[in-house]
Amino acid sequence: MKAALIQMNSGSDKAANLAKAQALIEHAIAQDQPDWISLPEVFDFMGGSRDDKRNAAEFFPDGPAYRLMQSLAKKHSVFIHAGSILEKRVGEDRLANTSVAFNRAGEEVARYSKIHLFDITGPNGQSYRESASFMPGDAVVTYDCEGITIGCAICYDLRFPALFQALMDRGAQMIALPSAFTLHTGKDHWDVLCRARAIETETFFCAAAQTGTFYQGQEARHTYGHSLIADPWGVVIARMADGEGHVSAQIDLTRLTQVRAMIPVAQHKVKLG
């Protein structure tokens, strides 16, 4: 299977973001003919106020981002892991940060809402309070992609290895991590954490990222980019730097089998506590 990651610099114009996502997906298809494509976290809308986010969010399956990804998957006969989309839910004031995966027929095959919310103060003093606008998910999610089991996670989830062990226990062979990692945390932690999660789960790790600057009100904020695919040995087999575009690589289950035979981590796991 060939996987492709889309790297974007989304902003607070939803229509423009969706048009850009479509153009980048179709360019990746024309160039590389991938079987599976992932977008980054909140590809549909970044920045703005809490009210702006709510106004941009959508109910599934009726919203424009959901429908666009569904139609592109069907039109091009490709799996699309729709990064994450701002999702409204009936009776809820806060939003969900939700990945949706579609198969080649445009059918929804998975839905995952981000479990760990990004409430931190960065090394540059900027404060992030994702829980002010979002509610956490509570389900561990995998899906089948023509014989490959794909596990779902989003951005800040990367720092919580228990989730990835749970995905491993559910048979994940590849993990999708759409992200909008900050520049200041990304430059020190992105590569090492992505590679660590690949090594400890012995999976292919596919992390599509936001890149560049967006605005939270009048405040400029910066994302790290560097979308990457790591193999089960932790070797980065595809990587972007800055800027928008795509990167792709082959997902070879023979490599996964070799790594798991050399170091059979799953067989050596001990239940603690």
Cα separation, 38 vs 41, whole angstroms: 9
- Out of 41, 58, 130, 202, pick the active-site residue: 41
219 belongs to the catalytic site: no
> Are 228 and 211 within 8 A, CB to CB?
no
114 belongs to the catalytic site: yes
> Are 246 and 24 within 8 A, CB to CB?
yes
- Out of 20, 88, 114, 206, pick the active-site residue: 114
> Are 227 and 239 within 8 A, CB to CB?
yes
* DSSP three-state, residue 248: strand
> Are 204 and 173 within 8 A, CB to CB?
yes
> Are 82 and 101 within 8 A, CB to CB?
yes
| First and final C-alpha spacing in the chain | 39
H or E element at residue 169: helix 161-169
155 belongs to the catalytic site: yes
183-to-68, 149, 205, 232 alpha-carbon distances in Å: 29, 31, 20, 26
- Out of 145, 152, 155, 194, pick the active-site residue: 155
Catalytic residues: 41, 114, 155
